Each structure stands twice: as C-alpha cells, then as structure tokens.
Structure 1
Amino acid sequence: MFETILCIDDDPIALMLCKKVIAKFNFSNTVITAQNGQEALSLFDNYLTDSTHNKMPNLIFLDLNMPVMNGWEFLEQFSLVNYKVFSTIPIIVLSSTIDPEDISKSKKYPNVIEFLSKPITTEILSYLDTKLKTL
C-alpha cells in the first residue's frame, strides 16, 4: 500500500474513478489530484519549500492529453535538475492512447515504470501491486 498517490488528469470523472478504485482496492491511504501538469508541478514546488514534505506522493498516475500542460510537458519539466529530489517517485502513464510511439517515448523517462490504458481498474492495481514490490 502507498501512503499518498497523485493522479494527474483533466477529466473529473477519471479522477473520481481513480479515487474510488484505489480506495476499493485499499491501494493508498490518500489520493491527491491535479487537473494538469502545471498544477502538479505547483504541488511539487510546494514540497520543495516545505521541508516536512507533507503528503508527498510516492506514486503518480499521469494522463498524457491535458490542457495547460500535458503529460509530456510535465515529464520534461519533472525530469529537470530542480525536481531531482523526486526522481525516485514511480510514474504510471495511464492514458487512452494506444500509439506505440507514445509507449516508446515514455521509456525515455526513468520515472515512468509502466504505460497502461485507461480506465484504472482493480486488475491494473493488482498488477501494479505485484510489479512495484519487485522495484
């Protein structure tokens, strides 16, 4: 089980589903959300200035297609040196895209440990539970 999970998605229904499935599976104590990459980076900027790292996520679910700052732009920014302190947080891309180029592109980011299709399900969480125990 994870203490805190961050779900980054612009779709309020996807965020609600993410929270419900995670709670049903007892996968995390806390789920926080951001509606785009910029909002998520602002959360991490706050963690950088708050030495207690209150409720800092230890897993991220990331959508790719969002307004303001999409998932790719988030990954680019998140991999910069000023976010290096968060380099151990695993990221699961959870997207509706099935483009093999997107899957391949995601592998260039060391934090991205998996690329899965929406929507989140208990089967996905069961798979991730097993996979993440081996990391």
Structure 2
Amino acid sequence: MAAISCILLVDDDDTTNFLNQALLRRMAVTDQVLVALDGQQALDLLDTHCEEPTSPTCPALILLDMKMPRMNGIEFLQAYAQRPAAQNPAVVIIMLTTSLNPADVARMQNLPIAGYLTKPLSQEKISQLLAEHFGQSTEGNQQ
C-alpha cells in the first residue's frame, strides 16, 4: 500500500508534471496522482474530489508551483485560505519553486503551506517530505 492515497500536482508545465508523475509512480508513494495546470483547476479538483474528506481521491499532499498563469501558487493559497474549513481537506501543501525569493517567502508567511522544495523533485526530496510530514519511509520503494 502506498504512503499517500492521492497527491495533487499543480504546475503549468506538462513536462514537469510528466516527470513528477513518473517519479512518484517509480517510488510507489501514492495510489493516485491528480494534475492541475493552474490554481483555479486545483481548486476545482478539490471541490470535485473532496466532497467526502475521507475519499481516496481527496489529496493528502499538494505539490504547488509558485509561478503559473491564470492563478499562481500564492493566489491559490489565498483562495484556499478563504474557503470554509469544511471544504478544505486535511492536506500538506508544499510550494515548489526554482528559487526561494525572500519577497515571495515573506508573502507566504500567513498562508497554509507546510514548506518549500526547490525544483526539480528528486527521490531524496520526496523521501524527506514523506518522513517529515507523513512519518513514512520509502527506503524499500526506491529503485
């Protein structure tokens, strides 16, 4: 059984999404990966998949790109924080970025994120995230 029932990738880059899905599949850390190309699609997916918070397709982890068209990562977080608590699943949100700009970090101080990861994702970064936020080890799953 996978460590996490569902992960939501939010990134406007198809190649990044493909590579991240392949990494997560190879590591066998999740049963399902949902993909949104911007923050608005991510909110829509949460509405669809989290009507029942215990649904196996309701994400337990969101890997959120910071820079996207239409609705970026910070705008997603602001909209997510404004939603009624009953609409938001118990989820770990990790911001993905190419660099940690101090101004961006400051803007996210009061937003519901559990941490940051720099791109690209790697087995080591995913393993550390699982250990830190889910109490899971992936040592037997890495190839």
**1:42 corresponds to:** 44
> How far apart, CA to CA, are the structure 1 residues paired with 2:124 and 2:33?
18
**1:115 corresponds to:** 116
> Any residues of structure 2 matched to 1:1-135 within 5 Å, and which?
1-47=3-49, 50-51=51-52, 53=55, 55-82=57-84, 84-86=86-88, 88-110=90-112, 112-133=113-134
Offset at residue 25 of structure 1 (A): 1.3
Offset at residue 87 of structure 1 (A): 5.3
Among all aligned residue pairs of Structure 1 and Structure 2, give the percentage whose two residues are the same amino acid: 30
Paired residues of 2:58 and 2:89 also in contact (CA < 8 A): no
- State the number of aligned residues: 132
Paired residue type of 1:86: N
Paired residue type of 1:126: S
Paired residues of 2:6 and 2:56 also in contact (CA < 8 A): no
Higher helix share: 1
CA RMSD of aligned residues (A): 1.9
Offset at residue 4 of structure 1 (A): 0.2
Distance change >3 Å, CA 84–CA 39, structure 1 → 2: same
Offset at residue 15 of structure 1 (A): 0.4
Paired residues of 2:5 and 2:56 also in contact (CA < 8 A): no
Offset at residue 40 of structure 1 (A): 0.7
Report which stretch shifted further, 85-94 or 113-122: 85-94
Paired residue type of 1:36: D
Runs of 5+ consecutive residues of structure 2 not aligned to the other structure: 136-143
**2:140 corresponds to:** none
> How far apart, CA to CA, are the structure 2 residues paired with 1:114 and 1:104?
13
Paired residues of 1:103 and 1:115 also in contact (CA < 8 A): no
Paired residues of 1:9 and 1:15 also in contact (CA < 8 A): yes
> How far apart, CA to CA, are the structure 1 residues paired with 2:97 and 2:38?
13
Paired residues of 1:106 and 1:115 also in contact (CA < 8 A): no
> How far apart, CA to CA, are the structure 2 residues paired with 1:66 and 1:97?
15
